């Protein structure tokens, strides 16, 4: 088990309640994937943003999670994928994790990985729109809602961003408030700020 990097804030800032987070909590079971016969390979590497957990199925990468402690990342993975066997790492999974870490440090690098993206039809639409936002750019929740043809679904777009299982590859960190201010990020607002700074070359 690897030691954690410098701690970063991972939870929603206190005193600045965001209704999206309470909605996520009440819908947590809906985000879980139950597949007793499935198995995932898991690797954890370190980066400037802390630890990165990469999980892959036989189909492709199904989770990229960010955090300070490997044990907490594994708990997050188990919450998302109920009853799935974790087989530990192998050379291929470690290689995938290293590629993700390199892209975090240099967002201009291209990364074309096999993916196993699991979500509702609406979430999939939102996530495809997020992947179309280029590095160095941002979009508001309302703009994303417009782009998927659901202009009145701004809150649902925010919830889909928060349910994103593939940090960085599905760049929900590029979605901001209508005034350009940073909003909640599942893996911590400081990580969101750091990712955007890396992508803008700051």
> What's the distance, CA 69 to chain centroid?
16
Asked if 189 contacts 13 with a C-beta cutoff of 8 angstroms, the reply is yes
| Active-site entry in 51, 62, 161, 172 | 172
Question: How far is 53 from 201, CA to CA, in rounded Å?
Answer: 25
Q: Please confirm, yes or no, whether 62 is among the known catalytic residues.
A: no
| Residue 128: both structure tokens together | 């495809």
Element (H, E) at 129: helix 121-131
Buried b (16+ CB within 10 A) or exposed e, 169-194: bbbbbbbbeeeeeebbbbbbbbbbeb
Half-sphere exposure of 149 (CA within 13 A, CB side): 3
Among 127, 201, 114, 141, which residue's Cα sits nearest to residue 171? 127
| Residue 65: both structure tokens together | 């999670």
Task: Give 85: exposed, middle or buried? Use CB within 10 Å, 0-12, 13-18, 19+.
Answer: exposed
Catalytic machinery residues: 172
């Amino acid at each position: 088990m690897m030691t954690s990097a410098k701690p970063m804030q991972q939870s929603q800032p206190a005193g600045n309640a965001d209704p999206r987070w309470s909605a996520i909590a009440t819908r947590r079971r809906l985000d879980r994937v139950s597949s007793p016969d499935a198995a995932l390979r898991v690797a954890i590497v370190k980066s400037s943003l802390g630890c990165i957990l990469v999980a892959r199925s036989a189909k492709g990468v199904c989770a990229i999670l960010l955090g300070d402690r490997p044990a907490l990342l594994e708990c997050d993975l188990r919450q998302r994928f109920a009853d799935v066997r974790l087989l530990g790492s192998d050379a291929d999974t470690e290689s995938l994790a290293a590629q993700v870490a390199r892209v975090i440090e240099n967002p201009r690098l291209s990364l074309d990985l096999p993916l196993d993206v699991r979500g509702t039809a609406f979430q999939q639409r939102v996530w495809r729109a997020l992947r179309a936002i280029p590095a160095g750019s941002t979009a508001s929740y309302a703009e994303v809602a417009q782009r998927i043809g659901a202009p009145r679904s701004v809150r649902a777009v925010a919830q889909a961003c928060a349910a994103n299982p593939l940090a960085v590859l599905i760049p929900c960190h590029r979605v901001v408030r209508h005034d350009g201010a940073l909003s909640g990020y599942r893996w911590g607002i400081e990580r969101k700020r750091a990712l955007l700074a890396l992508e803008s070359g700051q």
